[in-house]
Amino acid sequence: MNKLIYLDNAATTRVLPDISAAMSPYSEELFGNPASAYTFSGNINCKVDEARRVIADFIGAGPKEIFFTGGGSESDNWALKGLAFSLRDRGRHIITSKIEHHAVLHTCEFLEKIGYDITYLDVDSNGFISLDRLEKAIRPDTILISIMFANNEIGTIEPVKEIGRIAHEHGVLFHTDAVQAYGHVKIDVNDMNIDLLSVSGHKINGPKGIGFLYIRSGIRIEPLIHGGSQERGLRGGTTNVPGIIGLAKATEIAGAGLADRADYEIGLRDRLIERIEKEIPYVLLNGDRRQRLPNNVSFCFRFIEGESLLILLDENGICASSGSACTSGSLDPSHVLLAIGRPHEIAHGSLRLTLSDETTKEDIDYTVDSLKKIITRLREMSPLYEDFIRKQEAAS
Amino acid sequence: MSQVTEYSEKVMDHFKNPRNVGEIENPAGVGTVGNAVCGDIMRMYLDIDDKGVIRDARFKTFGCGAAIATSSMATELVRGKTVQEALEVTNKAVMEALDGLPPVKIHCSLLAEQAIHAALWDYAQKNNIKIEGLKPPVNDINETKEFYEMGGK
């Protein structure tokens, strides 16, 4: 194994040196608790305020609408549970989709257990929810619509602005999990009618364990983490200063290069998709071709199983992920692939490759060349492929 | 969970360099077990001579690293054995020969045992003989009692 080809940037990303450098003074030197009274801490508090403003500006929000959390999952949990509790006298119905991240889906399942009613919208074969069905699902007791900005497995970008418009026409709040979209596509919470938005730092070259929830001012929400008066009394816990500084720096860097980086990644993404479709038979692209995250490539390779594929890619120095049951630790393949209509046996053969601006054309070509060899090898071993070829021969 | 670190060296070896992959033309017995929905299918081919000795065993498997490794090990273990001896190649024997499997992968070893049995059953049917202790194969491993006992659902 020579070079590491990291194509799992939707799982996590590396912290860039500039971001580490921005964070490092806040551990050993400027370690003070920003809530303390003395000047030493007060100065640190100013830095946190600055960071909050950078982030707010990036999504067109106000600094008082940004609430730091421990990451994307906490933000999703807070948005759903916090509103379910604060609005419980108004209604107990929430609308979401079948392809949400587990941080949303499992939270919804929990809310169902304690008496809430959840509608899980279907998606079409490209992963889009139907705006028509969304509107029809709204009831007088609907308190929240939670639909992800972009899907983490198949990269499809949902019609967020339209979803928000429909929500607001019916007086319903709109939350979106933007963990995969933030820093990759332009987000404006006002233009896109977003009331709450979840973000995680480590998906955009920031540190792990930090994220935020944008909450439009005027919305009443119960805290998820009760405690001190941090985050305007809505999220207890000593302020994660290095994390916040890192998240702001990551936002600054991602924001400044957003368009160029997207162009670069889309070029590589489409080259990867094109080569796979041209050079490997019996493959299915998952997700929409155009309304797609710049860095996401997702395929199902028929007649093979994803874990075998991942281990052999690993042997070639390539890091990737799969939605097969064996890689999820459960017996069912990815709920997202099933929701877009992939049969179980095809969903087991899925592969997700997520690029970064550090990925090169050479990396892409090496990956396709490796994939071709590995897929051929696994298909030669596969009884499903054998049966398929026999049937084809019999038919011709 | 990282698959690469949870598998023993032997599992990785049999996955990366599987023994006896392929088919046998006109096999004495062939059996397919597993279920594509669950992501594992094993097909075992046996060549058995007049004295009831397994001369060759080949396999094809759709599945994870453990499924491929257990198939490979199962073919190695039954080669050269008599039909009766092959019946004693249990899932436990396959697992031990591989220096163990992660708990979630134990069902793969059961699949290997079932594949041997299915191929032997086919051999017995074709030759109209009865093999002591051999039960008809189950097509769907996930419906067997053993699968549930191993924590499958």
Residue range B45-98, pLDDT digits in tens: 999 999 999 999 999 999 999 999 999 999 999 999 999 999 999 999 999 999
Q: Dig out the tokens for A354 from the structure.
A: 């997520």
Q: How far apart are CA A305 and CA A327, in angstroms?
A: 10
Instruction: Assess whether pLDDT exceeds 60 at residue A81.
Output: yes
| Residue A323 banded pLDDT, cuts 50, 70, 90 | confident
Domain for residue B149, yes or no? no
Task: Report yes or no: B140 at the A interface, CB cutoff 8 Å.
Answer: no
Instruction: Assess whether pLDDT exceeds 80 at residue A331.
Output: no
- C-beta separation of A166 from A134 below 8 A: yes
**Closest C-alpha to A216, from A83, A69, A77:** A83
B152 contacts on A by Cβ (under 8 Å): 331
User: Distance between terminal CA atoms of chain A?
Assistant: 43
Q: What is the pLDDT of residue B151?
A: 44
Domain for residue B150, yes or no? no
Q: Which residues contact residue A112 at a Cβ distance below 8 angstroms, ignoring those fewer than 6 apart?
A: A118
Q: What is the pLDDT of residue A301?
A: 97
C-alpha count within 13 angstroms, C-beta hemisphere, residue A89: 3
| CB spacing of A381 vs B60 below 8 angstroms | yes
Q: Describe the strand order of the beta sheet including A296-301 as a list of residue ranges.
A: A283-285, A296-301, A350-354
Q: How far apart are CA A158 and CA A55, in angstroms?
A: 23
| CB spacing of A326 vs B3 below 8 angstroms | yes
- C-beta separation of A101 from A77 below 8 A: no
Among A118-127, A329-338, A366-375, B59-68, whose mean pLDDT is lowest? A329-338
* ipTM over 0.85 threshold: yes
Q: What is the pLDDT of residue B150?
A: 46
Task: Report yes or no: A8 at the B interface, CB cutoff 8 Å.
Answer: no
List the single residue in B15, B62, B153 with the smallest CB-CB distance to A304.
B62
List the single residue in B3, B18, B152 with the smallest CB-CB distance to A381.
B18
**Closest C-alpha to B61, from B79, B74, B44, B73:** B44
pLDDT mean across residues, chain A: 96
Task: Note the pLDDT tens digit of each residue in A341-355.
Answer: 999 999 999 999 999
Q: What is the pLDDT of residue B89?
A: 94
Q: Which runs of E-coded beta strand occur in A44-83?
A: 66-69
| CB spacing of B60 vs A383 below 8 angstroms | yes
Domain for residue B152, yes or no? no
User: Distance between terminal CA atoms of chain B?
Assistant: 19
**What amino acid is encoded at B89 in this protein?**
V
**Closest C-alpha to A352, from A27, A6, A7, A3:** A7
Task: Note the pLDDT tens digit of each residue in B90-122.
Answer: 999 999 999 999 988 888 889 999 999 999 999
CATH annotation of A17-256: 3.40.640.10
Task: State the residue range of the domain holding B140.
Answer: 3-144
Q: What is the pLDDT of residue A2?
A: 63
Three-state SS string over A243-296 comes to HHHHHHHHHHHHHHCHHHHHHHHHHHHHHHHHHHHHHCCCEEECCCCCCECCCE
Q: Which residues contact residue A41 at a Cβ distance below 8 angstroms, ignoring those fewer than 6 apart?
A: A32, A33, A34, A35
Instruction: Assess whether pLDDT exceeds 80 at residue B139.
Output: no
Task: Note the pLDDT tens digit of each residue in A235-250.
Answer: 999 999 999 999 999 9
For chain A, the domains span 17-256, 258-382
Task: Note the pLDDT tens digit of each residue in A100-123.
Answer: 999 999 999 999 999 999 999 999
Closest residue in A to B15 (Cα) is A308
Q: How far apart are CA B87 and CA B81, in angstroms?
A: 9
Neighbouring C-beta atoms of residue B149, cutoff 10 Å: 9
Q: How far apart are CA A379 and CA A237, in angstroms?
A: 52
Q: Which of B62, B101, B153 to mutate to test the interface with A (most CBs of A within 10 A)?
A: B62
Task: Note the pLDDT tens digit of each residue in A7-18.
Answer: 999 999 999 999
CA distance A343 to chain B (A): 8
Domain for residue B43, yes or no? yes
Closest residue in B to A332 (Cα) is B38
Q: What is the pLDDT of residue A396?
A: 83
Q: What is the pLDDT of residue B148?
A: 46
| CB spacing of A386 vs B18 below 8 angstroms | no
| Residue B1 banded pLDDT, cuts 50, 70, 90 | very low
| Residue B152 banded pLDDT, cuts 50, 70, 90 | very low
Domain for residue B116, yes or no? yes
Task: Report yes or no: B62 at the A interface, CB cutoff 8 Å.
Answer: yes
Q: What is the pLDDT of residue B138?
A: 73
What's B62's domain CATH number? Answer: 3.90.1010.10
Whether A326 sits among the annotated catalytic residues: the reply is yes
Q: How far apart are CA A302 and CA A282, in angstroms?
A: 6
- To which H or E segment does residue B70 belong? helix B65-78
- To which H or E segment does residue A117 belong? strand A117-121
Closest residue in A to B152 (Cα) is A331
Domain A258-382 has CATH 3.40.50.150: no
The structural domain count of chain B equals 1
The pTM of this model reads 0.94
Task: Report yes or no: B32 at the A interface, CB cutoff 8 Å.
Answer: yes
Instruction: Assess whether pLDDT exceeds 90 at residue A57.
Output: yes
Q: Which of B12, B21, B38, B93 is catalytic?
A: B38
Q: What is the pLDDT of residue B63?
A: 94
Task: Note the pLDDT tens digit of each residue in A150-191.
Answer: 999 999 999 999 999 999 999 999 999 999 999 999 999 999
